[in-house]
Amino acid sequence: MAKNRIIPFGYRIEDGQILIHPEEQKAVVYIFSEYLKGRPMSEIASEIQIPYKEDMPWYDSIIWRILTNQAYCGKRAYPSIITEEMFSKATEIRMSKGYTTHRIPAEIADIRYMTYCKECGQILFRIAYRPAYTKWDCHTKACSKFSFRLRDSELFTAILDILNIVIANPNLINRDIPEKSYSPNQEIIRQQNEIRRMMENASFNYEHIKSKIYQLAEMKYTCCEYNDISQKTEELKSLLLQTEKQNILDVGLLKSCVRRILVSHSCTIEIEFINGAIINERGEKT
């Protein structure tokens, strides 16, 4: 799990003192410099190589957070990384574009960390310069950006439609998993025969045989193949059967049922349920 930062990106604490982090400092300067050139936050975010924090990709919202933090021009006892002039110019640009401070609603934050690009498997970016403008996109360098604009409303409607499809027909999430019977390998058979021969000996060593039996039990357990797909499928179906058709997206239900939301470059949206079943907007398994 990613660790929360206790000080702003670009700084570190050493012997109780706030010092500049050399590598992160370069990223901060790059962010301000590129933004002052007129480049959008989303593009800048896609180019930063040093991690903001462990296992967390860069988003335009993180760029926005850096551009609005006065610590970088020497405020609040932090060493200066940029000049006050750079900070003021960045603020003027933001204000001229009408960017305002707004929090991401909790339900959107939950959905954002469940939504992936189907082609590259990476979490999608959600661009929201202001409440009226939202866009979900793939910014992975090895992949590419979407050729369409996917808005919050379009994504949420597709998710709601798929959920209502499986609520109406829970059997859609059934998965055909072949039953696998236990089949001992040659090593297990050899161990069983050895134990049998030892026990036929009137002067067998009890502790030694007990050790061999424990080994055999471990070998059998390792040989067994188990998955909980059938169990998860039944739990899902039970939950869906108790759920009525949704008019508004229930994020709690979504989190209980869904592993990932998948968006492809051809603008198809699918839901991967916790049992691995994948259903698209037409109610088809993929």
Between 70 and 81, the higher pLDDT residue:
81
Q: Which residues contact 144 (CB under 8 A, 6 or more apart)?
A: 138, 265
pTM, two decimals, is 0.52
CA distances for 247 relative to 192, 219, 251, angstroms: 60, 52, 12
Residue 192 pLDDT > 80, yes or no?
A: yes
Strand-pair category, 258-263 with 115-117: parallel
Between 225 and 56, the higher pLDDT residue:
56
Give me the architecture of the 11-96 domain, per CATH.
Alpha-Beta Complex (3.90)
Angle between helices 22-36 and 60-67 (to 10 degrees): 90
Residue 3 pLDDT > 70, yes or no?
A: no
Angle at 225 between CA 223 and CA 231, to 5 degrees: 150
Q: How confident is the model at residue 208 (pLDDT cuts 50, 70, 90)?
A: confident
CA distances for 140 relative to 42, 56, 144, 164, 169, angstroms: 11, 13, 6, 31, 36
* Percent above pLDDT 70 for the chain: 88
User: Which of 48-52, 223-227, 276-280 tops mean pLDDT?
Assistant: 276-280
* Segments making up each domain of the chain, as ranges: 11-96, 109-174+229-280, 186-223
